[in-house]
């Protein structure tokens, strides 16, 4: 099956995942994380892309960001990726590619999924058993969104801003969100949408995206799906 074209629309958040080629390590020492974040900030400004959440894992990155133009995210990822590969190859006397050839991305329904995806991203080190709590991991936006670290590359999204009437109340409310576990079905939904270039949102949001882009926003039901209890109930209730 051919890969679907990425959905790129201005002013709609995107969850982006970029992995090391063959899952190889992409960050070796502390300075590598710092260089990546400095350039993320630089290219975010250059291409007018607001960065809301991120995590830099050993061999991949997650980013949640909103472009102001249709091409902003792809321009940022391409420019950042090229720079970082040159930096790694020069610093560690290596050659060749570093990242997978194609990054993964999905459009995110702000109203229903933005804060969920932000938590999903910042909880990555916990799910990987690297730390017991996201506050213990230094290379994620949790340090700025929930704690007192000033991270200049971050831009607060409206969904984050309405959590409280000032900075401290927002951070408190945001930390409270992490007391609840993300259900396994939601984890799977986020992963599937991102890996397969589907839209992450409710039916109304998906329909809006389909009208704007002219392509399907979610997979079609297969023959076996039509026999499921859920499908039969849906047809009955129509």
Asked if the structure places residue 200 within a domain, the reply is yes
Residue 4 lies in a domain: no
pLDDT given at position 193: 95
Supply the pTM of this predicted model: 0.90
Q: For the chain of 238 residues, list the mean pLDDT of each consecutive stretch of 10.
A: 74 97 95 98 98 98 97 97 97 93 94 97 98 98 96 97 97 97 96 94 94 84 49 37
Q: Which domain holds residue 39?
A: 14-237
Cross-strand partners of 55: 62, 140
Q: Is position 1 within any domain?
A: no
In a domain, 5, yes or no: no
The reply to whether 3 falls in a domain is no
Flag whether 162 is in a domain. yes
Q: Residue 219: its pLDDT value, please?
A: 84
Q: What is the pLDDT of residue 234?
A: 39
- CATH number of the domain that 80 lies in? 3.30.70.1290
Taking Cα atoms as reference points, which of 19, 42, 48, 35 lies closest to residue 139? 35
- pLDDT for 222 equals 57
The first and second tokens of residue 13, run together, are 């958040």
Look at residue 65 and tell me if it is in a domain: yes
Look up residue 182 and give its two tokens: 């993300």
Query: In this predicted structure, what is the pLDDT of residue 238?
Result: 30
Q: Is residue 9 part of a domain?
A: no
Q: Residue 228 has what pLDDT?
A: 45
Q: How many domains does the chain have?
A: 1
Kindly provide the b/e burial profile for residues 145-182, where b requires at least 16 CB atoms within 10 angstroms of the residue's own CB: bbeeeebebbeebebbeebeeeeeebbeebeeebeeeb
CB 15 within 8 A of CB 108: yes
């Amino acid at each position: 099956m051919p890969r679907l074209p990425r959905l790129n629309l201005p002013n709609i958040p995107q969850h982006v995942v970029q992995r090391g080629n063959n899952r190889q390590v992409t960050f070796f020492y502390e300075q590598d994380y710092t260089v990546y974040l400095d350039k993320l900030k630089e290219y975010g400004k250059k291409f007018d892309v607001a960065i809301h959440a991120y995590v830099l894992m050993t061999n991949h990155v997650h980013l949640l960001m909103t472009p102001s133009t249709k091409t902003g995210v792809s321009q940022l990822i391409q420019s950042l990726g090229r720079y970082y590969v040159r930096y790694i190859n020069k610093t560690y006397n290596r050659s060749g590619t570093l990242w997978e050839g194609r990054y993964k991305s999905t459009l995110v329904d702000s109203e229903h999924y933005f804060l969920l995806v932000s938590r999903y991203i910042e909880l990555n080190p916990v799910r990987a058993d690297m730390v017991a709590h996201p506050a213990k991991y230094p290379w994620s936006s949790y340090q700025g969104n929930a704690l007192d670290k000033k991270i200049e590359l971050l831009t607060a999204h409206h969904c984050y801003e309405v959590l409280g009437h000032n900075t401290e109340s927002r951070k408190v409310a945001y930390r409270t969100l992490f007391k609840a576990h993300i259900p396994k079905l939601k984890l799977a939904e986020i992963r599937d949408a991102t890996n397969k270039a589907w839209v992450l949102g409710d039916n109304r949001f998906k329909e809006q995206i389909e009208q704007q882009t002219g392509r399907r926003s979610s997979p079609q039901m297969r023959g076996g799906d039509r026999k499921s209890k859920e499908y039969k109930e849906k047809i009955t209730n129509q």
